[in-house]
Amino acid sequence: MYFALNFTQMKQLLFTFCIVILALSFSSCEKEYTCTCVTTDTSGKNGPSELKTTLPSSKKSDAEEVCAGSGGTIDTLETVCSLD
């Protein structure tokens, strides 16, 4: 099978290809994510507190890992973190 393009069609194809490449160069797999951590006192002495942390230029999987690793329990303080 033979496929021939004239000069005008070739210019249009090249222009379209350049636009696609340009659009892809502006997109990124990394963006800014926010990790929200809520700490509660299971003894009831103190009310809950919230802390929001910005994770700049991160991939979603990396941001989820960092945010999940920020939670935990120490004595009566329980911290739960989630990615916004």
Between the CA of residue 14 and those of 1, 4, 26, 52, what are the distances in Å?
Answer: 22, 15, 19, 46
The pair of three-digit structure tokens given for residue 31, joined into one six-digit string: 């963006």
Q: What is the pLDDT of residues 14-30, one digit of tens each?
A: 878 767 776 766 665 67
Measured CA to CA, the distance from residue 21 to residue 44 in angstroms comes to: 57
1 pLDDT above the threshold of 60: no
Structure confidence at residue 29 (pLDDT): 67
Measured CA to CA, the distance from residue 13 to residue 20 in angstroms comes to: 11
Which residue in 53, 51, 58 sits closest to 32, CA to CA? 58
The pair of three-digit structure tokens given for residue 14, joined into one six-digit string: 């090249």
Q: What is the pLDDT of residues 33-47, one digit of tens each?
A: 999 999 999 888 888
Write down the pTM of the prediction.
0.61
Between residues 70 and 5, the one the model is more confident about: 70
Structure confidence at residue 28 (pLDDT): 58
